[in-house]
Structures are given as structure tokens and as C-alpha cells.
């Protein structure tokens, strides 16, 4: 058996094997395929992203053959060599197919919910975004600036600080440098027209990053949490993208409560698996992961 990058001739069989209905669903640059006796018997997607992160996508082998699965997973990890963390997301109904990932050193860390905003016709009336501050202090005066009207360094600092003690995938906290985090968001949401900074009493307090109708990030720096700023940012996001969609860690109950109070519906879920390559090993392999 051999595992190699896919060729144009491999695409029809790989599409069928991975359950894709159109070549647009697969990027051949990130597609690896396994052949046995000139027959395509497996396929996997593996992509390195800016910012020290990589993703392994759909992985399928004919007859659920463990040997082929393990060879594909090992090849995928070699393909994304150099990433600080490798992520894999499985639909919850397919969680039982995680064997190849777990044998390669991935571990299941959480489940994420996919949520979507209600239509304007069914959207509940928004609540006031002004909440009492600590010890009865007056609620802050909020203003929102597009990225084009604020200092880029200030925005980047707030974006990074808003991750401090956040409840979405805390396993990644401290793993990426600020520059890597910013690079990741530039890749996820390349149009700065979707980047916003919120000020509370003229102090930078939170950030919003949109990629079209996808919520890439919404967060508040620790000093200003619990004061209605997250709700203000969510209102802005829904105004900018009426069909807003997002993904949230099920452990982030404050965020989920916020989204549900705004009428968001859960439309799906995925299981999250992470692999932390061991730098001492020199390459990303199938053993030596950090737990």
C-alpha cells in the first residue's frame, strides 16, 4: 500500500469515498490518498493553517481497514509537520469512528455546538446591554469602532487579551503566541471590514471578528466581563450578518446562555479531538503526544 498526494485522476474515487458530491467540496492540495494494487482504498484531508494550527478533516478507508486508516493518519500528520496543535472535528453521530485518531495520539477534549441566529421575523426583542458594574458601579458607556477607525496594535492587544481565561477550548490557552493568534484570525476572516473594537468608558474592552455570516470571535477582556459588552457585540454582529452562524464550546455556558437569549438555535454538534506534537520527536508522528 502507498499513500501519496491525490492526482486529478484520483478525485472521482476520493469524492465517492469521502461522501462529497462536488469537486468544490475538496481541495486537492490538501488531499492524500491510499492505493493498494493500483486501487484507491482510502483518503484524508490535512491542512496546515497560519498561526501554528493544522486540521485533519474527513478520513475514510474502504471496509474500515485499520491498516489503511493508520497509514493515512500518519501521512496526514507528516503533511502538517511543524504545527503546534492538530485539530480534528467529527460530527457527533460519527464519534465512534475516532479510532484512527485516538491510535495516533489524538484525545477527545470537548463537543462544540453549531448555532444559527433566528430570522428577523422571529428574533426576540433585544434586552438592554447596560448592566450594573461591580459593587453597584454605573454601567459603562459603550462605543464600537470598525477596525479602520482604531489603532491596529490596540485592536490586536484586545483580541489577544479577550482570550485570557476564556472557556472555549482552554486546552489551547498559552500555546500560541500573540502573533500566531493574529495570523490565524487574518486567515479565518481576511476582510478587516468584519473586525470591530468595543470601548467601555473610552477603554478598549472587547473585540468582534466576522467572516461574512460566520462569527469568528466575540470576546471581552477579563476586567470588563459581566457588564453587557458581550451582548452589545452580539447585537452588532447580528445587525451586520442577519443569518449569523457560530460554533461554541459546550463548556462555555455563559456564551451559550447569551446566544440562546438572543434566539439562536442549535443546528448541529461536533466532537473535538486534539493532537499536540512532541517537539522532542523532531517530526509529527503517531506517538509521543502531550496530554
pLDDT of residue 19: 84
pLDDT of residue 118: 85
Give the 3-state secondary structure of residue 82: coil
Least confident window among 52-61, 129-138, 157-166: 129-138
- Taking a C-beta distance cutoff of 8 angstroms, is the pair 32, 47 a contact? no
Q: How many domains does the chain contain in total?
A: 2
d(CA 77, CA 259): 35
Of 112, 83, 220, whose CA–CA distance to 162 is shortest? Answer: 220
* Cα dihedral sign, 92-96-101-103: positive
Q: Could you identify the residue written with the cell 457527533? A: 92
Kindly indicate the confidence band of residue 4, based on its pLDDT and cuts at 50, 70 and 90: very high
Residue 148, in any domain of the structure: yes
Sorted by sequence, the CB contacts under 8 Å of residue 185 that are 6+ apart come out as 51, 159, 209, 216, 217
Residue 96 shares a structural domain with residue 185 = no
Residue 248 shares a structural domain with residue 143 = yes
- pLDDT at 212 exceeding the cut of 60: yes
β-pairing verdict for 214-220 and 203-211: antiparallel
- pLDDT at 9 exceeding the cut of 60: yes
Residue 72 shares a structural domain with residue 208 = no
Residue 19, in any domain of the structure: yes
Beta strands in the chain (DSSP E): 2-5, 31-36, 39-49, 53-61, 85-91, 107-116, 142-146, 195-200, 203-211, 214-220, 245-249, 265-275
- Taking a C-beta distance cutoff of 8 angstroms, is the pair 245, 54 a contact? no
The model carries a pTM of: 0.85
pLDDT of residue 279: 55
Residue 137 shares a structural domain with residue 30 = no
Residue 290, in any domain of the structure: no
pLDDT of residue 122: 57
Average pLDDT of span 1-8: 94
pLDDT of residue 210: 97
The per-type count for the chain, helices as H runs and strands as E runs, is: 7, 12
Kindly indicate the confidence band of residue 290, based on its pLDDT and cuts at 50, 70 and 90: very low
Residue 84 shares a structural domain with residue 202 = no
Residue 132 shares a structural domain with residue 97 = no
Residue 90, in any domain of the structure: yes
Q: Phi and psi at residue 226, in whole multiples of 5°? A: 80, 20
Question: Which grid cell sits at 267?
Answer: 443546528
pLDDT of residue 260: 95
Q: CA-CA distances (angstroms) from residue 172 to 89, 94, 112, 140?
A: 15, 24, 15, 31
Residue 153 shares a structural domain with residue 93 = no
* Order of strands across the sheet that contains 265-275: 2-5, 31-36, 39-49, 53-61, 85-91, 265-275, 107-116, 245-249, 214-220, 203-211, 195-200, 142-146
pLDDT of residue 182: 95
Residue 22 shares a structural domain with residue 89 = yes
- Taking a C-beta distance cutoff of 8 angstroms, is the pair 160, 197 a contact? no
Longest dimension (CA), the chain: 73
pLDDT of residue 284: 36
By CB atoms closer than 10 A (0-12, 13-18, 19+), residue 214 is middle
Residue 286, in any domain of the structure: no
- pLDDT at 103 exceeding the cut of 70: yes
- Taking a C-beta distance cutoff of 8 angstroms, is the pair 185, 216 a contact? yes
Residue 58's domain is classified under what CATH number? 3.40.630.30
Residue 178, in any domain of the structure: yes
- pLDDT at 105 exceeding the cut of 70: yes
Residue 76 shares a structural domain with residue 175 = no
Q: What average pLDDT does the chain have?
A: 87
Q: How many residues does the chain have?
A: 291
Residue 78, in any domain of the structure: yes
Residue 123 shares a structural domain with residue 250 = yes
Residue 291, in any domain of the structure: no
β-pairing verdict for 53-61 and 107-116: unpaired
- pLDDT at 130 exceeding the cut of 70: no
Residue 106 shares a structural domain with residue 126 = no
Residue range of the domain that includes 243: 118-263
Residue 255 shares a structural domain with residue 163 = yes
Amino acid at each position: 500500500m502507498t499513500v501519496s498526494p491525490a492526482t486529478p485522476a484520483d478525485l472521482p474515487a476520493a469524492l465517492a469515498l469521502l461522501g462529497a458530491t462536488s469537486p468544490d467540496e475538496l481541495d486537492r492540495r490538501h488531499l492524500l490518498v491510499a492505493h493498494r494494487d493500483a486501487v484507491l482504498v482510502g483518503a484524508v484531508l490535512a491542512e496546515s493553517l497560519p498561526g501554528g494550527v493544522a486540521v485533519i478533516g474527513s478520513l475514510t478507508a474502504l471496509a474500515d481497514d485499520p491498516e489503511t486508516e493508520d497509514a493515512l493518519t500518519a501521512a496526514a500528520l507528516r503533511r502538517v509537520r511543524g504545527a503546534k496543535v492538530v485539530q480534528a472535528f467529527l460530527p457527533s453521530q460519527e464519534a465512534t469512528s475516532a479510532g484512527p485518531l485516538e491510535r495516533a495520539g489524538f484525545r477527545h477534549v470537548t463537543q462544540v455546538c453549531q448555532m444559527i441566529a433566528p430570522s428577523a421575523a422571529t428574533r426576540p426583542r433585544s434586552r438592554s446591554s447596560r448592566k450594573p458594574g461591580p459593587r453597584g458601579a454605573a454601567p459603562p458607556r459603550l462605543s464600537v469602532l470598525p477596525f479602520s477607525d482604531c489603532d491596529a496594535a490596540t485592536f490586536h492587544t484586545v483580541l489577544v487579551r479577550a482570550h485570557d481565561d476564556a472557556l472555549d477550548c482552554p486546552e489551547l490557552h498559552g500555546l500560541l503566541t500573540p502573533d500566531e493568534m493574529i495570523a490565524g484570525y487574518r486567515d479565518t476572516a481576511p476582510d478587516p471590514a468584519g473586525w470591530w473594537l468595543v470601548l467601555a468608558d473610552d477603554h478598549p474592552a472587547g473585540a468582534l471578528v466576522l467572516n461574512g455570516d460566520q462569527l469568528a470571535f466575540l470576546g471581552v477582556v477579563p476586567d470588563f466581563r459581566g457588564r453587557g459588552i458581550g451582548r452589545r457585540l452580539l447585537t452588532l454582529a447580528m445587525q451586520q450578518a442577519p443569518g449569523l452562524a457560530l460554533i461554541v464550546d459546550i463548556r462555555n455556558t455563559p456564551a451559550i446562555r447569551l446566544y440562546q437569549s438572543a434566539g439562536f438555535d442549535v443546528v448541529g454538534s461536533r466532537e473535538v479531538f486534539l493532537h499536540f506534537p512532541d517537539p522532542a520527536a523532531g517530526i509529527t508522528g503517531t506517538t509521543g503526544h502531550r496530554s
